[in-house]
Amino acid sequence: MTWFLVHFAQIVFYCLAAVALAGAVGVIAFRSPVHAALSLLGTFLAVAGVFVLMQAEFLAAVQVLIYAGGIMVLFLFVIMLVKARDIPDEPQYVRRLVPAAVILGVLLAALVGVGLWAASSGPPADGAALRLVAGAPLGNTEAVGWSLYRDYLLPFEVVSIVLLVAMIGAIVMGRKETGRGGAA
Amino acid sequence: MANPWVAFLLVPLVKIVVILLAVILLAAYMSFFERKVLAYMQIRIGPNRVGPRGWLQPIADALKLLVKEDIVPERAEKLVYFLGPVLVVVPALVVFSVIPFGPAFKLFGYEVTPYLTDVNIGILFILGVSSIGVYGVILGGWASNNKFSMMGGLRSAAQLVSYEVPMGLSVVTVLLMANSLSLVKIVEAQKQAGVWYVIPGIVAFFIYFVCGVAETNRNPFDLPEAESELVAGFHTEYSGMKFAFYFLAEYANMVVISSIATVLFLGGWLPPFPNWLAAVWALPALAWIPPIAWFVLKMAAFLFVYIWFRGTFPRYRFDQLMDLGWKVFIPVSLVNLMAVALGVLLIGGR
């Protein structure tokens, strides 16, 4: 009974990790793009759960709000508009990608291995660092705000300019041609 | 509370059951209330056959939906078709776990909080969880394999994603004033400030509620299920219990929007005008009314406005809807956000 209470966080973590991995496998295993998008949604939600376990509740909420609630909805919107059910399989195209996939896979495995080694050789992470503002524990929202708007203000602003440029580009490309000659 | 199981499992479980029952009953009676109010607005009588003055009508409707045959279209995507109603009803109910219906009070020597939990990102939690509800609508529309359902699902996706932005921006103005994301702290901040945020945040309040109406697919923004164009939109093919889930979710979401509007702008469970008009109006006379009653009263007022809208406004056209969202609400709420931020900087003692 007490064993359950003590190890509650670990049990939850392994459940969430299993869901996230299963979702990730589903994204590439499902034939139907809608099913793939749904399993990606499962992964997003499970990762949000892991953020909560790490005491990073702001990141969890933003993960759900932006990725699950915004970006994936737009993906689904596009998938449904192109009627993906009718797209035939193209095995020869997939076969050409095999060498690239092998190289990428090896690189990714190396990256994960180095990450695991670095993590296991350092002190165990407890998530408390995600709540520190200038050394004092305040909360995850405050900590994210502090590091974005104080420590990393310039990169943050540069990234928002990049996003703005992308947005304007999309609008310009998506605009209907007006019959007046001019800029269109 | 020496036994950890009591604090860890029993108390939350009891609260969950109470809240769920209350919400489901409220949603059912909301449909009755809606039919009655609409009837009186149109000089009719409304449902009056089942039980005294028709009061048992929602129970009869629920029983009918429960025992009705559940028809699944032959060419539907079975799994996703089943997931649709689940994905729409679960977020609608989960959101109630953080809505504070009243302040903590003493019961048999224990301190009881009339809400399940007070997370310190409460409002973000609500926005995030309710944004999952869109999937139920889109996927239900897609999986039905019916062009009307599909159109309804697509319209809903575009509408919900568009109106989430100004809604979020108007919520941010309240966060600036309250300096917290926790719903309980937002109410307490209004108590301290001695003024409900509807007064400094009147523009945000208006935008929030109109976006809330759009987010719940209600008149005049009920395009995803516009009867005259799309049969019944995304839930055309649904019947029986699955349809009942969509129905329940729609009404539960209206209750959610009304509750959040109450918490953010009308001071939650606080009695009218804390500190403010107390000298003018003999308010201690109202002190015996429990805080939860004030909350329910304010929430009910919003629910009435929902029905009032339905009885009054014609439906928007889709391009008008998009224009309103992107070209009016987003710029206005951005300017409003700047103005409130400036005001907080100048007046607020931070």
**CB–CB of B150 and A80 under 8 A?**
yes
What integer is the mean pLDDT of B287-308? 84
Residue A92's pLDDT is 65
The DSSP-derived string for B50-111 is SSGGGTTHHHHHHHHHHHS-----TTS-HHHHHHHHHHHHHHHHHGGGS---S--EEETTEE
More confident residue, A38 or A6: A38
* Chain-chain contact of A61 with B135 (C-beta, under 8 angstroms): no
Tell me the average pLDDT across B69-74: 78
In a mutagenesis test of the A interface, which of B131, B148, B150, B319 is the best target, namely the one with the most A β-carbons within 10 Å? B131
pTM of the model: 0.82
Q: Is the pLDDT of residue B10 over 90?
A: no
Low-confidence winner among A17-26, B33-42, B137-146 (lowest mean pLDDT): B137-146
Confidence category of residue A134, pLDDT binned at 50, 70, 90: low
Which of A4-13, A172-181, B158-167, B214-223 is most confident?
B158-167
For residue A32, CA distances in Å to A27, A51, A83, A97, B251 come to: 9, 29, 11, 20, 32
Residue B303 has pLDDT above 50, yes or no: yes
Contact check, Cβ <8 Å, B131/A61: no
Classify each residue of B109-135 as buried b or exposed e, where b means 16 or more C-beta atoms within 10 Å of its C-beta: eeeebbbbeebbbbbbbbbbbbbbbbb
CA angle B343, B205, B116 (to 5 degrees): 105
Model ipTM over 0.90 = no
Chain A nearest C-alpha distance from B276 (Å): 32
Q: What is the pLDDT of residue A184?
A: 39
Inter-chain Cβ pairs, chain A and chain B, closer than 8 A: 79
pLDDT of B271 reads: 75
Q: How much is the pLDDT for B320? A: 84
User: Taking a C-beta distance cutoff of 8 angstroms, is the pair B100, B268 a contact?
Assistant: yes
CA B138 – CA B156 distance, rounded (Å): 7
Q: Do B139 and A74 touch (CB under 8 A)?
A: no
> Residues B122-169: pLDDT tens digits?
888 888 888 888 888 888 878 777 778 888 888 887 888 888 889 888
Q: What is the pLDDT of residue A89?
A: 61
pLDDT digits (tens, 9 = 90+) for B176-197: 888 888 888 888 888 777 778 8
What is the pLDDT, as a whole number, of residue A104? Answer: 93
Report pLDDT for B36. 87
**For A64, which of B128, B134, B161 is closest by C-beta distance?**
B128
Q: Is the pLDDT of residue B16 over 70?
A: yes
Whether residues A141 and B120 touch (CB distance < 8 A) is answered with yes
The stretch B314-342 carries a mean pLDDT of 86
Interface test with A, best of B10, B95, B134, B164 (most A CBs within 10 A): B134
Which chain A positions have a beta carbon within 8 Å of B7's beta carbon?
none
| Confidence at residue B127, expressed as pLDDT on a 0 to 100 scale | 86
Q: Which residues of A touch B157 (CB under 8 A)?
A: 73-74, 76-77
Is residue A70 less than 8 Å (CB to CB) from chain B?
Answer: yes
| Residues in chain B within 8 Å Cβ distance of A35 | 80
Q: What is the mean pLDDT of residues B5-26?
A: 81
**How far is the C-alpha of A69 from the C-alpha of A43, rounded, in Å?**
13
Q: In chain A, positions 102-161, which contact chain B (CB-CB < 8 Å)?
A: 139-141
Q: Assess whether pLDDT exceeds 90 at residue B5.
A: no
Share of chain A above pLDDT 70, in %: 78
Does any CB of chain B come closer than 8 Å to the CB of residue A65?
A: yes
Q: What is the pLDDT of residues B94-121, one digit of tens each?
A: 888 888 887 777 666 667 777 777 777 8
Tokens of B270: 């606080």
Q: Check whether B62 has a pLDDT greater than 70.
A: yes
CA distance B271 to A181: 62
The predicted pLDDT at position B350 comes to 47
What pLDDT, on the 0 to 100 scale, is given for residue B95? Answer: 87
Rounded to an integer, what distance in angstroms lies between the CA atom of residue B231 and that of residue B154?
A: 15
CB contact under 8 A, A38 and B83: yes
Q: Is the pLDDT of residue A121 over 80?
A: no
Structure-block tokens of residue A44: 């997003």
Band of pLDDT at residue A85, cut at 50, 70 and 90: low
Q: Is B238 exposed, middle or buried (0-12, 13-18, 19+ CB in 10 A)?
A: buried
CA B103 – CA B245 distance, rounded (Å): 31
Chain B residue at shortest CA distance from A84: B142
Alpha helices by DSSP H, listed for A57-97, are 57-62, 72-81, 91-96
Give the residue from A20, A5, A7 showing the smallest Cα distance to A51.
A20
Written as one letter, the residue type at A132 is L
Give the pLDDT mean for A29-51: 86
Please give the pLDDT value at position B48.
81
Determine, for residues B83 and A41 on separate chains, whether the beta-carbon distance falls below 8 Å.
no
Mean pLDDT (chain B, rounded): 81
* pLDDT above 80 (res A96): no
Q: Which residue of A has its CA nearest to B156?
A: A77
pLDDT confidence band for B67 (50 / 70 / 90): confident
pLDDT at A145: 83
Nearest alpha-carbon partner for B254 in B301, B288, B295, B289: B301
At A140-153, the pLDDT tens digits run 788 888 888 888 88
Under 8 Å between Cβ of B200 and B346:
no
Q: What is the DSSP letter of B112?
A: E
Is 60 exceeded by the pLDDT of residue B63? yes
